[in-house]
Structure 1
Amino acid sequence: MAANSIKPFSAEETQRILHHLQQPAVFMNMTCGWPVLHWTAEHLSTCIGDKLIRFRLGRKDGLNTPLFETQCSYVEAKLVHFLSWTRGQTGADVGPFSEFPYSEYWAYADYKYIAILFQDQPSMFEEVMWSNFGFEGRNGRESTLWIGTEGANTPCHLDSYGCNLVLQVQGRKRWHLFPPEDTSKLYPTRIPYEESSVFSQVDVLHPDLRRFPDFHRARVHTVTLHPGQVLYVPRHWWHYVESVDPITVSVNSWIELDVDDVARVSEAVTKAVVCAIKRAPSDDNSDNWLNPTEEGVASHNENMQYVNLAVGACAQRQKDLCHSKRTWDPRDTRPAKRDSSGQIRKNSDPVRESVPFRVPFGPHLIPVRCQQDSPEMREATPKDLEFKSSRNSTGTSQEDCTVSSEAAHRTEAAPAVRLHQGKQECGPGLAQCRACDCADETSESSSEDYEESAHALITTNDLLACLVHPDIITRVTELLLERHTGSHRTTASS
């Protein structure tokens, strides 16, 4: 099929849709003819040749705690070694993977910048056509490649600055997403530290509700992404991603939006506090706290320079806003438009923007909705809820829904929420959500538990978690801006 095949939405229409989308959604039939759809692991192995790629490995048996990237094993291997390993081969054919039995480990080549991976083959950049989504000039150069085995996953986290467009190329990935409003229920942590990400302390598939009791009220949206489909993940939506097929390949374009100046101050303060405390030598401060995706540790002087620059820029922006209020036209109620770099566009068309816009959900744009499980669904068996539909359907509609339930072991008194139980999974590109069951899991707390926690030793990480709590950082940001500007209290929102 030709690369210029008719798409359900034009580039301009898609850009407008993205501007108004407030929830995750799956775009259907937007990538017909994209050459990148031929990027299977086998094809990429031919293109990459003997170049070494860093793989992250983790054990398949979970421990009911997130497996952060700082706790994984790593190998550098050829892609042909990876493929041989997935086929059950051993010895020299699998290179460094020989130390990791395939039956016990998953592997993930994640965050691979296409611009670096194919720097000697720049023509491959053009095979990723994000311009169809209204991002003029954006292609594989601004994207990352992800290649994994079944079970490969990224810990649940939110991206601080941007939104994501994710194209599934080979195999399927299941996405578990939570709205920004549920952040406190995800128990955020800054250890391991990564400036652009905040991690959850909860294993969202097998949560420990005795440690994280509020998680049972978190609203999870789940969608299984199939080849050719594109998932849009809005800014600050939490997500946990797992590969569900033997080999998966996906391409991710992370789009940095115009970041609030107050948020930059908050991030600068967080970085200065985390680095200062974690670099201080102590008996309990020897953990591997810096995420592998973070580039080095800045000195305290550098971090304080960053704080001062962020505070200065924020104060100047507030000053400019005060000035603009005196010249602002109250009749101009048009929403801001952003270009491909995320910056606000000027000179919007007042006629077009004055018309109310409704996101055109339908067979070509599927919302990832949140809806509570009904009692009937919770009581049904997996066989009762399974309806097959073609994986290769190009015109999938909302009625082509494959619903599955893994709510086995009904005789157990479930001590923790299992997101696989009572799951409603839609067919290609269709999504579901279940609000975690609010059962009586938290009622089992005993006085012994309280006494044990009351006498627990406070560690450096415990202290740090309190210091960089979002509420604390917000208040510190307010105080810094007050001190810098000499003005009354500023309301900070990050």
Structure 2
Amino acid sequence: MNPAQVEFLAENQTIQITPNFSHDRLYLICGEVGPFRPGIPVQVPLWMAINLKQRQKCRITAPEWMTVETLVKIKEDEGQSKTFTPMPDEHYMVTTQLILGAAPHDIANTDEIRILVKDIWDMRIAKLRSSVDAFLKIGGSLAKVDHLTPMEINTVRPFLPHALDQLFRLRQVWRKTLPTIRPNKFIQQAYNHREMASNSPDPSKIRRLISHVRKPLVFRGLIESWPMLKFSQNDWDNLFRQMVLECRVGSRNSRGDQPQWEGESDNIKCTYSEFIKWSENSGDVCNPEMSSLETDKHFLYYGYKYMKDIFDSEVLRMTEWKAFGYPEKNGAESTFWMGTAGAHTPCHYDTYGCNLVAQLSGRKRWILFPPEDTDFLKPTRVPYEESSVYSRINFEKWIGTIPNISGTHPHVVDLVPGDVLFVPRHWWHHVRNEELSISINTWLELSNDDQEARLHESLVKFLVAHTCRNLQPNVVSELLNPNEEDMTYADLDEIQNFVHYSFKALKDNEADGRNVPEDVDALPDEPWILPVVCNESFEPKVKKARSADAHSKIVVLDVVRAFCHPRVIETVSQILKNEFKT
């Protein structure tokens, strides 16, 4: 169950109210309630109690356990016990939030109760996290835990099943019940005896170039030693074997004004072999989840996967970034992307660092825009994903052509196997597979610029986390990207500390007098480097007035989007720096 479903169950439990109106008995799906008579207590579902309270039709009576004395005793018992103690209500946290939010004046000692419940929750979540950590470290596969509530279980739901799945796979490898995930003999020999070409550039020279240049570049011939670059389809099949891949399913016919957000997509599970057979229309895919998918209407994307989570250390060492001046980086600091034709990500820029992307198989089109084009690309933090600023423009309208967006300067490049693209800091990019494609990337930290970015990110996170607490579940699902669902229950004190430490790190950095490196205008005239040039410039146009039938009512997500706009966050950051000058 997700948090919204848990809240739905909590709202169905009964609670006592004292109505101030008369009404006959009501016959609901969940049973009979009433009759209602002024001043006579009656039991009703919690959702009905809240609805009546909002219309000032009743007074809510607190559950027996919702007193300071009872909660103090529960807190003491929980603190003294090494295991989880029984809770008086399996939805105690949700029930408290709902009742105190709707009827704070009906309940005595509201503030004390809210603090005590939060303390109990924090103690139990800390105990749960330490238990899960110990469980994973010993390689356990089965555990019985009593007295956990549904919402507490939900806090570990996003990662625990995946972690257990990884442990299960490792045990299979150890017991040799499945073939090990290792490169085949031919690839292993190539890996052990790889050599860089004699005319390869000095890695320190490339690292310095990456640290200074502010325009996208394509490097060629620098990853010829990577074994994966020479992989055949059979090699990839041997690498993945029976590994289960969780893939995003998207539409190839998305031509509306809005991008196809990740939260609007479905997910399926398949093996690599099924993935390839489906993409080739071989017709012998037995996976029922893929039976209704058509290659000309859908795409599959197995993307943004940390390699350390899916491959063993031997495979991770096959990905090295030392030719670019980063010998400390390998597959453990890289992410894996594999998608069928048409797979794409909405246009966005990364708030942290810069990016190196190695194309291993297939052809992938990158459309990049400089940071100066930001205002013309309609930036948004809705849906929210840490470190990603999205564009509200749907680039799928321009498949095969250069996007004609007023005021922008698109740079278009098609990557082929062996190419490595350098994406500078804050450059927008829309990425689309022109055919079945595999690539690997790594993010490079920029210590000077990233201090400012971390403060900006902490401010956005602060606003989003607080806003989530007061929104309906369906609105929260629109606000958050699927990988940020736990933001609703994030520790607000931790986020406040994130803001504080980000601000302190920025001030310390400025006090040290560290300067941003100057841009490099002249690039070396070498065969291994190719600048990505601007294909066409589009002059800014006079903004047209909104049509009468256009969306004109301001809704909550419009307000969040405005407050999280990069210009607003920059202004807030500057105000804080001026306010707390040392």
1:239 paired residue number: 429
- Residue identity matched to 1:475: T
Cα displacement (A) at 1:61: 0.6
Cα displacement (A) at 1:152: 0.5
Cα displacement (A) at 1:43: 2.1
State the SS of the aligned residue for 2:553.
coil
What is the aligned length?
382
1:278 paired residue number: 468
1:194 paired residue number: 385
Counterpart Cα distance in 2 of 1:484 and 1:15:
36
2:54 paired residue number: none
1:224 paired residue number: 414
Larger RCO (CA within 8 A; separation ≥ 6)? 1
Cα displacement (A) at 1:206: 2.3
1:315 paired residue number: 507
Cα displacement (A) at 1:158: 0.3
Cα displacement (A) at 1:48: 1.5
Higher helix share: 2
Counterpart Cα distance in 2 of 1:80 and 1:163:
33
Matched, 1:79 2:268: no
2:297 paired residue number: 104
Matched, 1:434 2:530: no
Cα displacement (A) at 1:173: 0.3
Q: Contact 1:40–1:169 at 8 Å: present in 2 too? A: no
Deviates more, 1:145-154 or 1:38-47: 38-47
- Structure 1 residue aligned with 2:211, among 19, 22, 27? 19
Q: Contact 2:320–2:327 at 8 Å: present in 1 too? A: no
- Residue identity matched to 2:434: V
Q: Contact 2:254–2:396 at 8 Å: present in 1 too? A: no
Matched, 1:365 2:529: yes
Change (3 A) 1:100 1:481: same
| Residue-by-residue CA offset, 1:84-120 (whole Å, 9 max, x unaligned) | 111214465345222322231011110121111113x
Counterpart Cα distance in 2 of 1:124 and 1:70:
31
- Residue identity matched to 2:301: Y
2:354 paired residue number: 163
Counterpart Cα distance in 2 of 1:471 and 1:357:
28
Counterpart Cα distance in 2 of 1:187 and 1:228:
33
Gaps of 5+ in 1: 208-212, 325-332, 338-355, 371-432, 488-494
Counterpart Cα distance in 1 of 2:208 and 2:199:
15
TM-score (norm 1): 0.71
1:26-425 mapped onto 2 (5 Å cutoff)? 26-64=218-256, 65-90=258-283, 92-119=285-312, 122-206=313-397, 215-245=405-435, 247-258=436-447, 259-282=449-472, 285-294=475-484, 296-297=486-487, 298-321=490-513, 358-370=522-534
Give the percent of matched residue pairs that are identical in Structure 1 and Structure 2: 32
1:411 paired residue number: none
Counterpart Cα distance in 2 of 1:240 and 1:73:
21
State the SS of the aligned residue for 1:76.
strand
- Residue identity matched to 1:292: P
TM-score (norm 2): 0.61
Counterpart Cα distance in 1 of 2:478 and 2:237:
32
- Residue identity matched to 2:351: S
Change (3 A) 1:437 1:358: closer
Change (3 A) 1:256 1:316: closer
Counterpart Cα distance in 2 of 1:302 and 1:435:
44
Deviates more, 1:154-163 or 1:304-313: 304-313
Deviates more, 1:282-291 or 1:169-178: 282-291
Counterpart Cα distance in 1 of 2:473 and 2:300:
33
Structure possessing the higher radius of gyration over alpha carbons: 2
Counterpart Cα distance in 2 of 1:479 and 1:335:
25
Counterpart Cα distance in 1 of 2:333 and 2:480:
24
| Residue-by-residue CA offset, 1:266-301 (whole Å, 9 max, x unaligned) | 221111112222331249724333223447312322
RMSD: 2.9
Counterpart Cα distance in 2 of 1:96 and 1:151:
19
Counterpart Cα distance in 1 of 2:494 and 2:236:
40
Q: Contact 2:406–2:539 at 8 Å: present in 1 too? A: yes
Matched, 1:474 2:570: yes
Counterpart Cα distance in 2 of 1:228 and 1:60:
27
